[in-house]
Structure 1
């Protein structure tokens, strides 16, 4: 229950939201994430999203994933949610409950993309922590950042600390397929412990290391399995395979839990799930997943090698448009696979400049409307979030709403993408962009300096073009 001060502050806005969504009777559920109040409505046509976006404390509103999402910003959304649930007379739902409720209204394609997104959202905090730790040890170990010597060489006393950080930074990547199987099994409705078991099988120490097999230093054992020749190779870096196996384990678990008699279900259902999924892993899904992974990486590398600067500009120009659709979470799987196969990630700098292009656009919007208190309040908050890798407030609060800032931001991102191509910026991890992303940039070729320059360039182009558009076109923002 909200305390009296919070309730008196946000109650007028909450009452207006309830009225503008078509009343309490049109509300199916509510939850919140870090910045947004998420509502599932029976009929979205009854909601006036434009009017909701003009309310006090609201930084934007939009419908995505069949949810009405109202942006309040970090911290504020928690208080608004407490007042909203009390005033609407509903019990709070978890974010997962709301996602499940809204997913029932989506088509198969959007449900699939949403499910894939949810798998990676589950483990992103761990990946982000590991990426930042990798960035710290990279800053300490790489030569050329602070001079000809690395920080560890300049100050040998911190070598032990750096070694400790290095071990922690790589820990999650050694078991990443296991975590993905666990998260995917959980997301698709299976017993996540069975996902852990299958993930452990994928990384079993008796299997030949996939990286060593790949570079030709180890010859894998080959066995005959019901007449099939199966190579006993582990699945280090097999992110896409892990995603597929999570789905398989979940569906098999559900099937055997329904079909096996209760008297023997406790041991027979999981036994059959693991045996069959393990057989499919080595005989079909593993080989198919390796081909699929190789195809994705080959396609990316082809675009870099053959489209050159145009490919980089195209990706950086449209990446934030992909964010609007929700498809951007799929890129995390590609980045993970790219790092596993090549040891570096050229996508992260492109994603960062794409984001900063939108940040520049919302900055230009804010500066052009500096005398408008509402625009300034929304703009400053949205721009601040982009500096830390969060673009949704900028996109949905301003850029998509008025369209032309979105276009100017895309142009800024494309120009930044050209700079990334010309300077060869790469990252050592993924999961962080903008300011946090600095920590995971590779130092080779003055990588950190060029990373800053690329992001500043994208931001400046987005901001300048947006301001110029305001001055020349004088758009009506009503």
Structure 2
């Protein structure tokens, strides 16, 4: 622990001067793998110094959005970011307690410059990064329960062979099912927090959405129940609960935050404590059942139907195209929108066909790294950075490979995309699916859907991505030649992996 703290201090002390000083930073936050710092001026960043810090797997600067991204990897990035924010005083994005400090630093001006779409993506990243551990836990628990209850290893399931595990299986099923059943409530909490409202009010409106006094949408759709009808000034409103409605939950989180901030600002201090939360929930509930709920449900259905239409209509070509370009989307940062889409897919269909496609796209880039290693194995630095990048790929993190090797050398990037596309076609042909999202690579097998020999097909699909990514990268290396083949950047690869 002492060594870790010492390393984090070294990182923090290096970052501040390397970004042009604390005054150049607006806010800091993290996604699943990267410390992200919004800056006033990206031209002041000393990328070489940042790359030479311990534990850093890559550095990316987005001048359009004025954002610095330092790649540390999952788990580690949480601890680095927490230490960095605590010891620098730089505001954390979405921290309502630092709202004034953020404004003083120019956050509002930066948001305008970034544009509504990039701000939307940043907010989605914040919302789903917050709740991803819960979703991941639920998905892996479902996968574990599938291993216990299905005939994966022979003619009998594990609980048939070991009856004492049947109770454990039931508890696991309840735990996993409870997480996904309450996803709208969890999303609403995170969205309210992200947009600067009091998170407990997000939980409150999430509870309204999931109210047990209302019939479920699925029961109403099948005719098993009738919707509750409410007369609101002559307007007959059909009311059901909103289980599985992630888009509605996202919108409601934003609405609750805006209402909460409005009432806190405009109500007198004497009555604010009592009336602000009450009025927030009252008006949010009215908006939920009168407008936002119906519109959000229609939008959710449209997104799900569109994805299923693309999958069913374009078939193998659609799968191949998506997995072929998915890692290019990661480079742009637009991949952060997939969290909301995947969550809605899971809530609507119980499966996520995008997850295995993302995994094989990742493994295609891993194949590109293997090709780079083969061509440069005599160079010590190339070997070290290749091995580090490939192991990151195996555990679902592509940024070290993308920004450390493939993007610079080009042929591994293109070859990896081709390998990913071929593996994506295989995913379609074997009907591979997932029961959750949030993890790819080796650990992604835990959330592979067991139908159609899912575990074996998952392994084969990812292997295909690596093999063909490597083959096509080797071929393309004959035609796409970097000017300095043996240079892998200034990063000292020996510093990788000091902490887990």
Q: Name the TM-score, length of structure 2 as normaliser.
A: 0.85
Determine whether 1:121 maps to 2:118: no
Q: Which stretch has the larger CA shift, 286-295 or 219-228?
A: 219-228
**Distance in 2 (alpha carbons) for counterparts of 1:270 and 1:295:** 33
Match of 2:59 in 1: 61
Residue 495 of structure 2 corresponds to none
The CA deviation string for residues 104-148 of structure 1, in whole angstroms up to 9 with x for no partner, is 4522221111011101111001111111111100111122x2123
Shift of 1:307: 0.8
- Looking at structure 1, the residues matched to 296 and 318 of structure 2 have their Cα atoms a distance apart, in angstroms, of 25
- Alpha carbons of structure 1 residues 75 and 366: separation in structure 2 relative to 1, 3 Å: farther
Cα distance per residue 1:212-252 (max 9 Å; x no partner):
22223222222211222212200000100000000011111
Q: Take 1:262 and 1:79, find their aligned partners in 2: how far apart are those partners?
A: 37
Q: Report if aligned partners of 1:209, 1:236 keep a CA contact under 8 Å in 2.
A: yes
1:131 counterpart residue number? 139
Map of 2:219 onto structure 1:
212
Please report how far the alpha carbon of residue 59 of structure 1 lies from its aligned counterpart in structure 2 after TM superposition.
3.6
**Closer/same/farther in 2, CA of residues 471 and 265 from structure 1, 3 Å limit:** same
Q: Distance in 1 between matches of 2:408 and 2:2?
A: 31
Which segment is superposed worse, 233-242 or 441-450? 441-450
What secondary structure, in the 3-state scheme, does the structure 1 residue paired with 2:93 have?
helix
Specify whether residues 377 and 73 from structure 1 end up closer, same or farther in structure 2 by C-alpha distance, changes over 3 A only: farther
RMSD: 3.3
* 1:304 alignment counterpart: 311
For residue 401 of structure 1, give the secondary structure of its aligned residue in structure 2. Answer: helix
Query: Could you tell me whether the CA contact under 8 Å between 1:71 and 1:397 is conserved in 2?
Result: no
Q: Which residue of 2 aligns with 1:318?
A: 325
Kept after mapping to 1: 8 A contact 2:361/2:420? yes
How far did residue 289 of structure 1 move? 0.6
> Structure 1 365/297 Cα, relative in aligned 2: closer, same or farther at 3 Å?
same
Tell me if the contact between 1:60 and 1:398 (Cα under 8 Å) persists in the aligned partners: no
Distance (whole Å) between structure 2 residues aligned to residue 4 and residue 279 of structure 1 = 50
Cross-structure match for 1:268: 275
Q: Equivalences for 1:287-366 in 2 at 5 Å? A: 287-366=294-373
Q: Is 2:148 aligned against 1:140? A: yes
How many angstroms apart in 1 are the aligned matches of 2:321 and 2:52? 34
User: Per the alignment, do residues 170 and 264 of structure 1 end up closer, same or farther by CA in structure 2, a change over 3 Å counting?
Assistant: same
Moved more, 194-203 or 323-332: 323-332
8 Å contact from structure 1 (residues 412, 461) kept in 2: yes
Residues 386-439 of structure 1: CA deviation (Å, up to 9, x unaligned): 211122222222222333322222111111110011000111222222211111
Change (3 A) 1:95 1:84: closer
1:174-227 CA deviation, whole Å, 9 max, x = no partner?
111011111101110111111111000001110001222222322222221122
Q: How does the TM-score come out when normalised to structure 1?
A: 0.88
How many residue pairs match? The answer is 471
Aligned partners of 1:26 and 1:43 also within 8 Å: no
Partner of 1:240: 247
Deviates more, 1:451-460 or 1:71-80: 71-80
Counterpart in the other structure of 2:88: 91
> For residues 283 and 82 of structure 2, what CA distance do their matches in structure 1 show?
47
Task: Identify the residue that residue 381 of structure 2 maps to in structure 1.
Answer: 374
CA contact (8 A) 1:132 1:436 kept: no
Residues 1:257 and 2:264 are matched in the alignment: yes
Q: 1:330 to 1:77 in 2, by over 3 A?
A: closer
Q: 2:37 & 2:331 partners in 1: Cα distance? A: 18
SS at match of 1:308: helix
C-alpha distance 81-177 of structure 1, shift in aligned 2 (>3 A): closer
Q: 1:182 maps to what in 2?
A: 189
Residues 268-293 of structure 1: per-residue CA shift (max 9 Å, x gap): 22221111110110111100011101
Give 5+ residue unaligned stretches, structure 1: none
Contact residue 40 and residue 66 of structure 2 kept, 8 A: no
Distance 2:317 2:222 in 1: 32
Alpha-carbon shift at residue 23 of structure 1 (Å):
5.0
Hey, what does 1:43 align to over in structure 2?
41
Structure 2: gaps spanning 5 or more residues: 488-500
Secondary structure of residue in 2 paired with 1:126: helix
**Stretch of structure 1 that moved more, 310-319 or 216-225:** 216-225
